[in-house]
Amino acid sequence: MKNSLLTIIPRAFRAKGVMVAITILLRTLLNFMGLAALLPVLYLILDSENIHSNVWLSAIYNHFGFTSDTNFVIIIAASVVAFIAIKCLINLLLYRFERDYIYTLYRYLSRNLYIDYFNRGLSFIKASNSAVLARNVNVVCYTFVAGVLRPLAVIFSEAMLFVLIFISIAIYNPIAALLVIAIFIPTVTLYVTLIKQRVNRYGSIENEAQRRKFRDTVETYRGYADIEINNAFTRMLDLFDTNTDTMVSVGAKNATISTLPQIFTEIALAAGMALLVSLSVGLESGDMKILFGIFAVAALRLLPSIRAIMSAWTSLRYNRYAIEIIRDADIDSPASVGDNSTERLDFQSSISINNLSFRFEDSQSDTLSNINFEIRKGEKIGINGRSGAGKTTLFNLLLGLYTPTAGTITIDGQVLSSDNRRKWQNAIGYVSQSVFLTDSTLLSNIALGCKEEDIDMARIERAIEAASLSEFVATLPNGVNTRIGECGALLSGGQRQRIGIARALYKGAEVLFFDEATSSLDSQTEQSINEAIVSLAEANSSLTIVVIAHRDSSLSYCDRVITLK
C-alpha cells in the first residue's frame, strides 16, 4: 500500500504533505502536553499533602509566595483549564491546515481524473461505462481522501501519542507500562486478526455493488421509453434491489465491525483495572493511589487513541479499492485540457483521404482498409454502405477523434495530426444521429462551450433563422432562454437536429458533417431537414457538406456518393 500511495499523491502535494505530517506531530505533542498538565491536578486530588511533598508543586508554591493551600489549588486548576483551552485552539488551527490539504487534494484528484478520462479519447469513452466513470470522478476520489488518507493521518497521530504516553509511563513506573502492553497490544492484535480479511472483502463487494447500482439507475432513467414499452422495469428493479441488498448487508456488517473497537478497548480497560488491583496487594495505600491514578488517566486517554487507530485502520482497509482506481489514471502532474485555442485551420481547396486504414485495439482485423477519395471545397458528398462498413469510424477519423492506423487525411496538403487537430475541429461542424444536448437552455446548447456573457446574440438569431428554428423559438415561454430538459427531452427529433445545425452555423463552420442525422426521423421531418441542408448549401457556395445516410433519398441532393464496402 505504501508504494501505491506514493504513486497516487502528486509530486506537487508531497512537499506540503510533509508539512501536514509536521502539523500532525505538533498536534500530538500538544495533546500529550494537555495530558501531562492534568498530573498536578491528579496529585492534588489523590493527596492534598502532595502540595508540599512533591518537589515540583512545592517549588511552584514557594516561588510564587503562596500562603494558602486553597488558593494554590484554585490557581493550579484554573491554569490547567486555561492551558487546555489554548491547546485546543491551537489544535483547531493546525487541523484546519490538514483539512485544507485533504480537500485541496480531493479537488485536484477529481478534476484531473475528469480531464484524464476525457483526454483518453473516444475509443476509451466508448469502451467504458459513463456512469462508472462519473462515479470514479465524483465518489471514488472523495473516498480516497476521506476514507484512506484521513484515516492514515489519524493512525499516524494517535500512534505517536500512544508512544509518547507509553514512554512517559515507563519512565515513571515500568509496572504500569508493562500493564499497558499486556492489555492493549493483545487487544489490537486480536482485533486485526479477526476482521482483516472481512474488511478487505466487504469494501470490494460494496464498491462493485455501488458501481452496478449507479449504472443501472442512470440507464433506467435514460432508457425510460424502451424500458416502459418492453415492460423491463421489473427486471431493472430486481437488479436495483439485488445491489441495494448487497450494499445494505455489507454496510450492516461493516457497521457492526465499527463498534468492535469500543467493545475491545472497554474489555481491555476492565481487565487492566482488575489486573492492577491484583498486583497492588502488599503495596502501601499512597503508592496504590498514585499507581492506580496514573494508569487510569493514561488509560482514559489511551482508550480513545486505540479506538481511533482501530477504526481508522478498518476504514483504510475498507476503502483501499480507491487506491487502485485512482492509480490507474495519469494524475501525477496537473492535467492539461489540451489545445483550447480558437485558431482555425484555413480550408481553401480539398480534403484528401490517402490509403486510410483503421483498426481498433481489441480487433483482429481492419475496420477500414486502404480508403482513398477526395472532398473538394463547396461539394456535397454522401457516404453510404452496409451496416458495419465503417461509415461512422470514417467520420470519426475525419473529425480527428480517431488516429489512423495507416494512411493520412490531409487538408489542403496539411496532414491532420495532433498538432493541428484543434484548429481543424474549430473549422468544422458535426450533427450526429443523436445530437448532444445539455440540461440547460436552448441558447446554451446552440452556443455550446461559450460563456453566457460572450454569446453573440446577432449570430444566434442568424443561426436560428438558417436552421428553420424561428417559429419553434417563438412558441417557447422564455424564448432562447427556455430549458430543454435532459438530452433535449422536451424536444422532437427534428428540433434536436435543427439545434445541431444551428450550433454548427453559430460556430461558423466551413465543413458540416452529418452522421445519420435524419435516420431516426419520419419521412416528412427528414425531408424538411434535407431541404434545410440544401438551403444552407445554396446560401453559401463555399460550404462543404459531408453526409452519412443509409437511405438513398437522404443523399439525393449530394454531388457525389461514396460507397464503403
Domains, the chain, in order of start with CATH, read 2-327 (1.20.1560.10), 350-564 (3.40.50.300)
Contact 51, 72 (CB under 8 A): yes
Q: In this structure, which amino acid lies at residue 351? A: I
For residue 153, pLDDT over 80 is answered with: yes
Identify the weakest region by mean pLDDT among 20-29, 42-51, 110-119, 323-332: 42-51
Q: Which three cell numbers stand for residue 129?
A: 461505462
pLDDT confidence of 516, banded at 50, 70, 90?
confident
Residue 146 has pLDDT above 80, yes or no: yes
139 DSSP 8-state letter: I
pLDDT recorded at residue 280: 55
Rounded to whole angstroms, the Cα distance separating 367 from 85 reads 72
pLDDT at 376: 93
Are 135 and 211 within 8 A, CB to CB? yes
Element (H, E) at 269: helix 233-279
CA-derived radius of gyration, the chain: 35
Confidence class for position 295, pLDDT limits 50, 70, 90: low
Residue 239 CB burial class (10 angstroms; 0-12, 13-18, ≥19): middle
Average pLDDT over residues 258-266: 68
Which of 66-80, 275-289, 410-424 shows the lowest mean pLDDT across its residues? 275-289
pLDDT higher than threshold 70 for residue 281: no
pTM above 0.85, yes or no: no
Count CB neighbours of 136 within 10 A.
22
Percent of the chain's residues with pLDDT above 70: 80
What strands, in cross-sheet order, belong to the sheet with 406-411? 368-376, 350-358, 406-411, 414-415
Point out the least confidently predicted range of 284-288, 415-419, 441-445. Answer: 284-288
The pLDDT value recorded for residue 356 is 92
Categorize the per-residue pLDDT at 325 as very low, low, confident or very high, splitting at 50, 70 and 90. confident
pLDDT band at 5 (very low <50, low <70, confident <90, very high): low
DSSP letter string, 91-126:
HHHHHHHHHHHHHHHHHHHHHHHHHHHHHT-HHHHH
Q: How many CB atoms lie within 10 A of CB 530?
A: 21
For residue 331, what pLDDT is reported?
Answer: 66
| 532 has pLDDT over 90 | no
Angle at 133 between CA 129 and CA 138, to 5 degrees: 150
pLDDT score for 334: 59
**475 burial level (CB within 10 Å; 0-12, 13-18, 19+):** exposed
pLDDT score at 178? 73
Q: Distance between CA 417 and CA 411 in Å, rounded?
A: 11
Mean pLDDT of 405-433: 89
How much is the average pLDDT of 411-418?
91
Q: Provide the CA 479 distance to its chain's centre, in angstroms.
A: 36
Q: Which of 186-195, 207-216, 267-276 has the highest mean pLDDT?
A: 207-216
Residue 213 pLDDT class (50, 70, 90 cuts):
confident
The CA-based angle 82-44-296, given to 5 degrees, is 85
Whether the CB-CB separation of 357 and 402 falls below 8 Å is answered with no
Q: What average pLDDT score do residues 107-112 get?
A: 86
pLDDT mean across residues, the chain? 78
Best CA proximity match to 546, nearest among 468, 437, 555, 387: 555
The pLDDT value given to residue 223: 67
Distance (Å, whole) CA 385 – CA 387 = 7
Could you give the CA distance from residue 545 to residue 560 in angstroms, rounded to a whole number? Answer: 11
Helix, strand or coil, per DSSP, at residue 471: helix
pLDDT in tens, 429-484: 888 877 888 788 888 888 887 888 888 899 888 888 888 888 888 988 888 888 88
pLDDT reported for residue 405 = 92
Non-local (6+) Cβ contacts of 270 within 8 A are none
Can you read off the three cell numbers belonging to residue 375?
Answer: 472532398
Across the range 83-88, mean pLDDT stands at 83
Top-confidence residue, 47 or 441: 441
- Helix 11-36 vs helix 285-318: crossing angle, to nearest 10: 160
10 three-state secondary structure: coil
Q: Which helix (H) or strand (E) holds 514?
A: strand 511-515
- 413 vs 498: CA distance, rounded Å: 33
State residue 390's pLDDT score: 85
- Are 518 and 494 in contact by the 8 Å Cβ rule? The answer is no
Element (H, E) at 539: helix 523-539
Alpha carbons 430 and 543: distance in angstroms, whole number: 13
**Mean pLDDT across 373-383:** 90
Q: What is the mean pLDDT of residues 298-310?
A: 71
Cell numbers for 292, please give them: 492506580
Looking at beta carbons, which pairs linking 366-373 to residues 24 or more positions away fall under 8 Å?
A: 366/405, 367/393, 368/393, 368/394, 368/397, 368/564, 370/407, 371/407, 371/564, 373/562
Q: Quote the pLDDT of residue 53.
A: 65
Beta bridge partners of 408: 354
pLDDT recorded at residue 268: 67
Nearest CA to 317 out of 193, 158, 498 is that of: 193
DSSP label of 434? S
Whether 505 has a pLDDT exceeding 70, the answer reads: yes
Check residue 521 and give its pLDDT.
Answer: 58
Name residues whose C-beta falls within 8 Å of residue 325's C-beta, 6 or more positions apart in sequence.
136, 140
Residue 347's pLDDT is what? Answer: 87
CA dist list (Å): 349 to 378, 411, 510: 9, 8, 11
Contact 418, 339 (CB under 8 A): no
* pLDDT attached to residue 355: 93
User: What is the predicted pLDDT for the residue at 372?
Assistant: 92
Q: What is the pLDDT of residue 377?
A: 92
Tell me which of 14-23, 110-119, 332-341 is least confident. 332-341
Task: Report which of residues 270 and 88 the model is more confident about.
Answer: 88
On whether the CB atoms of residues 429 and 504 are closer than 8 A, the answer is: yes
Task: Give the Cα separation of 122 and 142 in Å (integer).
Answer: 26
